[in-house]
Structure 1
Amino acid sequence: MEHVFAVLAATGLGVGGIDFLIASGTSFLLIFAAEIGDKSQLVCMVMAARHRAFPVMVGSALAFVVLNTLAVVFGAALANWIPEAVIYAIVAVLFLIFGIQAMRAEEEPDRECTSPPSGRGIFLATFALIFVAEFGDKTQLAVVGLSSTSIPLAVWAGATTALILTSALGIWAGCTVLQRIPIKLLHRVSGMFFIILGLFAAFQTWQAVS
């Protein structure tokens, strides 16, 4: 470790630069590990399997940028900004709507992920799903905690990079692995996935108000 510090110091980073790299690297590793297999990554996977990848990537990336910015700027007060029951209720409604739409969808003539983006509809849908699902989630609360004890900008950079990377991995999986599934079955699987998440969020809403 001393050798690493010596190399970093030799590059002219200085103590402040080293602290920034350590804080951002720690945030990246913690958030990346926490998000692997989490619902936001699964949402990106399912969305990319049914729609074009580019607007899904941009929508998820922007959602995480906004969420982490709010977490760093407003800190712990963010968790109490909107009542927990309201957040869960919005998540439930969104996921149920998307689930029902997916279950009712017919076969699409074009499902190629490398096609040009179709417009802002997919981008807005992805942004809304990720933003509402992750608002007040454990990942955002982790960013709040890390930024209160470390360099906020470094935490933001590390956490945002980790979240965008996990989203990209989910989109890649959606554009490769899930593309081998027949489109009709894919609609059913993705619809059930969203409906299950919606029902779970509805249960959380009931718990929060009871």
Structure 2
Amino acid sequence: MTDFSGMLAGAWLSSAGATFLLIALAEFGDKSQLVCMTLAARHRPLPVILGAVAAFAILNLLAVLFGAAVAAWLPEWVVTAAVGLLFAVFGISALRYKEEEDDEDIEEKSGHNVFATTFLLIFLAEFGDKTQIAVAGMGSTSNTLAVWTGATLALATTSALGVMAGQKLLHRLPLVWIHRVSGAFFLVLAVLAAIRLIQNIL
């Protein structure tokens, strides 16, 4: 009985570890990590991390429970259009920042919505993404809880690394340049989403 339990525990850890390694490597440098990096340069790091982890936890849960069909819940063009619109709004908002504005007022207003902003951006950007489909595929062949745990820990790790990079690298820039860098980044993502939307329609 002990040997059997040990085998089960070993198989569970093996599935979780393999999922962690695969997803972490796939997401390293991906758009979700860059989003966390950019947001962390402008806002407090904890709400950014919590928002990203919450989004990934739900996305991975949907993936392991419903498999690849999760990506078909909404037409791809609807998700792509929503992502592009969100990125464009945040990009334009960041570029409109003026150096003479009161930084404390801006931080106070945006701080209440950092968690929701991060959650929404990550959730829509990663919905139906290759990583979620990979998690769905692994969940259909391995222990679902192990796959969910490994994938969520991997994405939490890459998000935390992105936040740390944003705090240490981008945060050294003057605030006005942080807003310009993040605004340009979000607009690039919006353009990429628009190109993808056009390709889907055509």
Shorter-normalised TM range: over 0.9
Question: What is the distance in 2 between the residues matched to 1:195 and 1:31?
Answer: 26
Q: Deviations over 1:84-103 (max 9, x none)?
A: 11111011000000000000
Residues 118 and 13 of structure 1, relative CA distance in 2, 3 Å threshold: farther
Asked whether the equivalents of residues 44 and 111 of structure 2 are also in contact (C-alpha less than 8 Å), the reply is no
Question: What is the distance in 1 between the residues matched to 2:180 and 2:141?
Answer: 45
Q: Deviations over 1:140-184 (max 9, x none)?
A: 011001101111110000000000010000001111111111111
Aligned-residue RMSD, C-alpha: 2.1
**Which residue number in structure 2 is paired with residue 6 of structure 1?**
none
Displacement, 1:105? 1.4
1:109 paired with 2:118, answer: no
Q: Deviations over 1:179-200 (max 9, x none)?
A: 1111111111110000000011
**Which residue number in structure 1 is paired with residue 89 of structure 2?**
97
Q: Which aligned segments of 4 or more residues in structure 1 are displaced greater than 6 angstroms?
A: 115-118
What one-letter code is carried by the residue in structure 2 that aligns with 1:33?
A: L
SS in 2 for 1:106: coil
SS in 2 for 1:19: helix
Paired residues, number: 198
| TM-score, normalised with respect to structure 1 | 0.89
**Which residue number in structure 1 is paired with residue 58 of structure 2?**
66
Identity score, percent: 53
Match of 2:26 among 34, 43, 46: 34
Give the unaligned 5+ runs of structure 2.
none
Match of 2:186 among 194, 197, 202: 194
Give the unaligned 5+ runs of structure 1.
1-8
Q: Is the deviation greater in 176-185 or in 136-145? A: 176-185
| TM-score, normalised with respect to structure 2 | 0.92
Asked whether the equivalents of residues 95 and 197 of structure 1 are also in contact (C-alpha less than 8 Å), the reply is yes
What one-letter code is carried by the residue in structure 2 that aligns with 1:197?
A: L
**Which residue number in structure 1 is paired with residue 199 of structure 2?**
207
SS in 1 for 2:98: coil
